[in-house]
Amino acid sequence: MKIALLHYHLKPGGVTTVVLHQAQALLEAGDEVLVLSGEEPAASLAWENIPVKVIPELHYDQWRPAKGRDLAAAVLEAVKPVWNRADVIVVHNPLIRKNGALLAALKELGRGECLLLQNHDLAEDFRPDVYAGEEYPENCHYAVINSRDYAFLLAAGLKREGLHLIPNEVSPVTADPGLERSRYLYPVRGIRRKNLGEILLLSLFVPEGKTIAVTQPPTTGRDTAVYRRWKELAAELELPVEFEAGTGTGFSRVLGSAAAVVTTSIKEGFGFSFLEPWTAGLAVAGRRIGYVCVDFEEAGLRFDAFYDSINLPSCETTKDYPEQFQNRLEQAVLGLYAAFGREIPAAIGAMIKDRYFASSLPDFGAMDEPMQEDFIRRAAEDRGLRGGLAEINPFLNGFSEWAPDPSLIEANRAAVLSSYSRERIAKTLRESCRAAVSPVVQSISRSKLLELFLDPSRISLIGITK
């Protein structure tokens, strides 16, 4: 097949890596590939044998006037000298408003071209800043990277024959041998949804002589202020937490310094951090994200050292937390619906006002940063509060004595290499591309999709874009 892969840019990052892997896999499988990008690829030998056409009109420009016809013509013009036309155009992250003309262009292209719209993120997932003000393209094929998004899009109107689940390829990583393994490593950029407050809380239970290390700082101002506050609090309370542990150091060397990998993230699209460390012989422990982990568990992985929530003890410290959380949740959801340009449905409003939110202590990971900081301060200073926390969350005491299981590491490593190999994912991608040439009549109810994502019982206040 002649398959075009389209993305706004080819700068280093998660979606760019997926585009690169897809291009390599399709070429190895015998398909013809053309990558369409709004910018030249970042300097890398990895792109050397992959044809790339730059379409300047495609780059990030959120407020670009919606001249879809011009952008559509530019896409066709870029393809024409290579093949005359593509069999399928795979468009990455089209529903995230990063280019104001793209949705209109896709509707124009859909009149004559076969489209497969692969979504790594959806704006309805608490991202009103990139929510489009127009309907999504109809009568073309869609793809997602996890089963939660698959189920939501089905419920919002898509059909099984027009919706495809295409997980990401996982490339094995390595850990340098011979280093002192003195850290629990959190190999992420410290953005808000990575839930760094929980790292500080876990640090109260790490063994003497070990630290928890976050590898990279955030790159946006919105996240940097929160990140800086966690650094200041960790220093003030003298917690065994390191920051920027991966800055200026190769990833293999950083992994080589780790006794294990931890994760406290409350939201992921795919969840590479749940998979990659096992390929380097490192166990992973921490917060389980149900909609992410269920896919991996079906692929044969086990997450024995994971927890679903950190429950708070009912005591003098937390007596005001239920009401605080309910009030902040209500304001957050009202603000979200307003930012999405929608009125809050009566059923959602009733859920928030339900007695559950007024009487039940929230999961630590659901609270906002000020509430988390308040609890961390008190727990750091109060041995009794720490004991009460560990009593209802026994894994916290186990964390101080936890030793990775070599047999589990090997089993999970084998499961990752089998289920998320290039060969396996390429087969799924090629089958989806072949299906995408068949006509389908379908559309997405944006109001239904928004309602599914903005379920108050699933919301974490730190997962909301501000």
Global pTM?
0.93
Domains and CATH numbers, the chain: 2-169+421-449 (3.40.50.2000), 183-313+367-419 (3.40.50.2000), 321-360 (no CATH)
Phi, psi for 83 (deg, rounded to 5): -130, -5
The pLDDT tens digits of the residues spanning 75-93 come to 999 999 999 999 999 999 9
Q: Give me the pLDDT at residue 347, please.
A: 83
Closest by alpha carbon to 124, among 101, 155, 102, 79?
155
Q: Alpha-carbon dihedral of residues 188, 189, 194, 199, nearest 10 degrees? A: 70
Confidence class for position 385, pLDDT limits 50, 70, 90: very high
The pLDDT tens digits of the residues spanning 259-287 come to 999 999 999 989 999 999 999 999 999 99
Mean predicted confidence (pLDDT) in 421-446: 97
Cα(167)–Cα(150) distance, rounded to whole angstroms?
11
Cα(456)–Cα(84) distance, rounded to whole angstroms?
49
Q: Percentage of residues in the chain with pLDDT exceeding 70?
A: 97
Arithmetic mean of pLDDT over the chain: 92
Q: Per DSSP, what are the bridge partners of residue 61?
A: 99
**Picking from 181-185, 198-202, 269-273, 395-399, which range would have the lowest pLDDT averaged per residue?**
395-399
Confidence class for position 208, pLDDT limits 50, 70, 90: confident
Res. 465: pLDDT tops 70: no
**Residue ranges in 167-281 assigned as alpha helix (H):** 196-203, 221-236, 251-256, 276-279
Q: Give me the pLDDT at residue 303, please.
A: 96
Res. 363: pLDDT tops 90: yes
The pLDDT tens digits of the residues spanning 285-297 come to 999 999 999 999 9
Mean predicted confidence (pLDDT) in 154-158: 98
Res. 466: pLDDT tops 60: no
Mean predicted confidence (pLDDT) in 330-347: 88
Cα(371)–Cα(158) distance, rounded to whole angstroms?
39
**Picking from 227-236, 270-279, 325-334, which range would have the lowest pLDDT averaged per residue?**
325-334
Mean predicted confidence (pLDDT) in 432-457: 94
Res. 401: pLDDT tops 80: no
Q: Per DSSP, what are the bridge partners of residue 53?
A: 36
- Report which of residues 115 and 39 the model is more confident about: 115
3-state SS of 57-94? HHCCECCCCCCHHHHHHHHHHHHHHHHCCCCEEEEECC
Return the structure tokens found at 378.
């008190």
Q: Give me the pLDDT at residue 349, please.
A: 80
Q: Give me the pLDDT at residue 197, please.
A: 97
Burial class (CB in 10 A: 0-12, 13-18, 19+), 89: buried
Helix (H) or strand (E) holding 462: none
Task: Specify the length of the chain in residues.
Answer: 466
DSSP 387-404: HHHHHHSTHHHHHHH---
- Report which of residues 177 and 42 the model is more confident about: 177
**DSSP state for residue 263 in the 8-state scheme:** E
The pLDDT tens digits of the residues spanning 445-463 come to 999 999 899 888 888 899 7
Cα(136)–Cα(124) distance, rounded to whole angstroms?
12
Mean predicted confidence (pLDDT) in 176-186: 90
